Amino acid sequence: MAEAKALAGSVAVVTGGGRGIGAAIAQRLADLGASVAVCGRTAGPLKQTASAITKAGGQALAVECDVTELASVEQAAELITKQLGPPKILVNNAGIGAFAQPLHQMDAKEWDTVLNTNLRGVFYCIRTFAPAMIAAGGGEIINISSLAGKNALPKGAAYAASKWGLNGLSYSVAEELRAHNIRVSVVCPGSVDTELSPHAGKDKTKMLQPEDVAHAVAMLVTQAPQSFVSEILLRPTQKP
C-alpha cells in the first residue's frame, strides 16, 4: 500500500500526455498518488486522459501546450503551478516520428519539425521547470528517448538524430542538476505499439506496450533517494 501512493503530494507534468505512451505514464503516476498535468497540442485526447484519471480517483489537469514554443511552455507552467502546485516530476515524452524517406529526400521543414519537437521542446521544458525544482530542493526529470538514439535507423535519420541528441542532452543535464538533488534519466524503448511507431513487418503482439514504458518511469521516480538510474534501455522479450 505504501508503494501504491509513493508519490502522494507530488505534482507531475507529462508532455504528449493525450495518448499512447504519455497517457500510460500519466495514469501510472496518478496511480502512485501524484497530481498529474497532461500537456499536449490537442485538447480532446488530453481531456480524455485527464477524465480517465479522475474517474479512477486521481487528480489530473489537461493543459494545451506546444513544446516547440517557449511562451506556450511558460504559460502552461504558470497554470499548472497555480492549479496543482509546483511540479516535482517532469516527463518529457512529446515527440513525433519521420520514417518515410532517406535524409537526402527529406523536406527541410519536416526536419525542423522533428528536431524542434523532439529536442528543442525538451530544452524549453527543462529551462522552464528546472529552476522551480532547484528552488524546492529537488525533483525528477525523465526524458523519453528511443533505441533509435543508440542504433542506425535507415529512413529515420532525423528522428534518430533527435534521439541521439536527446540522449546527450540528458547525460549532460544530469551532471548539471545532480548537485541540486534533481535526477535526470533517459528511457530508450524499442518499438512500442503506438500510432507513432512504424509497424511494417512487425508482429504487434510482440511489441512493447505503452504500459511497459510507464512501468520504467514508475521505477525511476520511486527510487531510494541515494540511488540514481541514469538510463534505461527497454526491449521486448521477443523480437517483433
What is residue 59's predicted lDDT score, i.e. its pLDDT? Answer: 97
What is residue 194's predicted lDDT score, i.e. its pLDDT? Answer: 84
Per cent of the chain over pLDDT 90 is 88
For 60-72, the pLDDT digits (tens) are 999 999 999 999 9
Cβ-contact 192, 207 below 8 angstroms: yes
What is residue 2's predicted lDDT score, i.e. its pLDDT? Answer: 43
Cα Rg of the chain (Å, integer): 17
What is residue 49's predicted lDDT score, i.e. its pLDDT? Answer: 98
Residues classed as catalytic? 159
Average pLDDT over residues 200-212: 86
Distance CA 38, CA 26 (A): 7
pLDDT-derived band at 1, boundaries 50, 70, 90 = very low
What is residue 116's predicted lDDT score, i.e. its pLDDT? Answer: 97
The region that residue 149 occupies, defined by phi over 0 for left and psi between -120 and 50 for alpha, beta otherwise, is alpha
Can you give the pTM of this predicted structure? 0.95
Distance CA 240, CA 227 (A): 33
3-class SS at 115?
Answer: helix
Enumerate the domain spans of the chain. 7-234
CATH classification code of 7-234 = 3.40.50.720
Nearest-10 Cα torsion for 37, 40, 44, 45: -80
> Is residue 196 predicted with pLDDT exceeding 70?
no
The alpha carbon of residue 186 and the mean position of all alpha carbons in its chain are separated, in whole angstroms, by 9
For 83-136, the pLDDT digits (tens) are 999 999 999 999 999 888 999 999 999 999 999 999 999 999 999 999 999 999
Q: What are phi and psi of 144, to 5 degrees?
A: -90, 105
Average pLDDT, the chain: 94
Lowest mean pLDDT among 10-14, 129-133, 149-153, 197-201: 197-201
Average pLDDT over residues 45-70: 98
> Is residue 42 predicted with pLDDT exceeding 70?
yes
